[in-house]
């Protein structure tokens, strides 16, 4: 079986993990600088985590 290439870097995964923790605690905010409202869905939290990873220049595929 051939080894598969990673789509997302391990550090990008940890960024998403941290954002999910914030979401579960209820401290995750959306929008620029966290000025927006409370994050209400898991999908939204994951998207924010990936976006933060992208901004840091980690290996994350582009948005479709």
The radius of gyration of the chain from alpha carbons, rounded to an integer in Å, stands at 13
pTM for the full predicted model: 0.82
pLDDT in tens, 24-59: 999 988 887 777 889 999 999 999 999 999 999 999
Give dist(CA 59, CA 50) in Å, integer: 10
What is the secondary structure of 1-32 as a DSSP string? -PPPPPSS-HHHHHHHHHHHHHHHHT--B-SG
Residue 62's pLDDT is 86
Q: What is the DSSP letter of 38?
A: B
Residue written as token pair 């789509």: 7
């Amino acid at each position: 079986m051939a080894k598969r290439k990673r789509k997302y870097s391990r550090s990008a995964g940890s960024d998403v993990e941290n954002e999910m923790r914030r979401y579960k605690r209820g401290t995750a905010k959306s929008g620029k600088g966290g000025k927006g409202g409370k994050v209400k869905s898991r999908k939204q939290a994951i998207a924010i985590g990936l976006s933060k990873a992208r901004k840091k220049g980690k290996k994350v595929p582009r948005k479709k």
